Every structure is written in structure tokens, then in C-alpha cells.
Structure 1
């Protein structure tokens, strides 16, 4: 896998391609057990934005610390099978600190890994294929990962980003 950095000039052109802002605000995750999922995410210290139980409809909206995008789950919010979300990404400044924080909350987190081929896509593979142990040997941004599953089987990735690509805020 190759690694291509976009130039500032290209990023400026792409960012002006439309006058309409498209912001990812919410990601829906499929869960089997509402209360178990609620306990997991609230236990991580994620901010509860909405917690509804109206006439048997249960709905929870949470936001991870420092995130502009939130997570929603509940009954009747998605037809996706519980635990089928795979590769949800949490960008972190320090992967070791983020990993320690999750472990302190009782989460089983993989060891830090990178792409064995030297690319930055090591976290976006099925299972453990293509993973090499430890941080990226060149200490590149976007190239060190860790992963964990929530109580429902949804797979999350931590990706260390120390320097953003041009055009990214």
C-alpha cells in the first residue's frame, strides 16, 4: 500500500468544490442490548446528549470526549445486525495514552500495531491480517493503531494523528 500526501493547493481546490457544508454529525451503531451498551459507553465517560425511553422506544445519543461527531443507538434506529459496525475510527493524539485510558475503564484493547507493508492502512483490514506489532517504525501520523470491541461486538479503531494532512482541521 502506498502513502500519498495531498498538496495544500489540491486541498484548497477540493475544499472549495461546493458551497454546501457536509459535516458528519452522527454515526448509528447497531446493538442487541440497550442497557449493556449504555453502561459501556457511559462508563467510558462519553457525554450523554439524549437518553429517551418513550413508549418502548429506547434511544441514546452520546459524544466521545473532544469529538464533533456523536454515536446513536437504540431499538428501531437501524436495520443493521447488532455488532456489525466495523472500523469505526477514533482519532487520538497519543495512542499509548488513549489505550491506557480505555484499559483503565476495563476495555480489552489490542496492542498497538501498524501496517506490515509500511502503508497507513493497517487498521482497515479484516481481522489481524497485515498487522505488524508496535508503533509505526517511522513514527508517521495516521500509521499507528489499536482496536477494541464494544459489548455488542462493534469494532472500533484508535488511530494516532499527530499532524493532519493538508486541508484537514
Structure 2
């Protein structure tokens, strides 16, 4: 039996700002942006190459208001990930070198934290 994570919810306070951050800022695919009613809007975005998407919106009741996530994503090259973020104007620190990986971290406008990890194998 396979278990595939396909959707992770994020709490955001301004849906349009988050669409701009993830779609225009990070360059991720905005798969869905649907206003179902005045109380319900669903947005789904997917990082390039990922089988898992994130979602946010209004009226979804998936996360408590004011909560935040920490999500770690594996990338092939931390240097390329850092350059990509900086080229797109995303505020991020340099590369954090650890024995188990090289990390680039950033936050979205609502404080949801992301770590991009280049896995380091013992050689």
C-alpha cells in the first residue's frame, strides 16, 4: 500500500498576497484559484517537479487562524535554489551547511516557514 501526500494546507491572512507570493514571487504553478461563494475561496499551488501541492484560501477551515506551517522540500542543488530565490526577490538567508544536508530557508508573508534541503550523502 502506498501513502502519497498530495496536499498540505497553509493558513494565510491575505489570499491575493499569497497567490502573488507563491505564483509570481516563487514562480510556482497556481493550479486552482476558485471563488465558490462569498465565504469560500480555494487556491492550490504546486512547486515545480513536486507531486505535493499546498492550498490556502478562505472558508476552508483546515487550519486555525494565526497558525503556521514548517515545510521541508528536497532540492538537487542548494546553491541553485538560493540563486533562484534571490533572483525572484525572495528574502532568504544563505546556505546553512549541516552534516545531513545543505539548507536554504525562507518565510511567506504569513510566517509559514520553508526549508529547501540538498541532501548530503556520506561519501
| TM-score, normalised via structure 2 length | 0.87
- Stretch deviating more after TM superposition (154-163 or 48-57): 154-163
Paired position in structure 1 for 2:2? 21
From 34, 45, 70, the counterpart of 1:52: 34
Greater strand content: 2
Contact 1:82/1:153, CA 8 A, preserved across alignment: no
Structure 2 gaps of 5+ residues are: none
| Residues 76 and 59 of structure 1: CA distance in aligned 2, closer, same or farther (over 3 Å) | same
- Size of the aligned set, in residue pairs, is 118
Q: Give the TM-score normalised by structure 1.
A: 0.65
Change (3 A) 1:83 1:151: farther
- When the two chains are superposed, the root-mean-square deviation of aligned CA atoms in Å is 1.6
After TM superposition, the runs of 4+ consecutive aligned structure 1 residues lying more than 3 A away are: none
Contact 1:27/1:70 (CA < 8 Å) preserved in 2?
yes
Give 5+ residue unaligned stretches, structure 1.
Answer: 1-19, 114-134, 164-169
Residue 53 of structure 1 and its aligned partner are, at CA, apart by: 0.8
1:83 CA displacement:
5.2
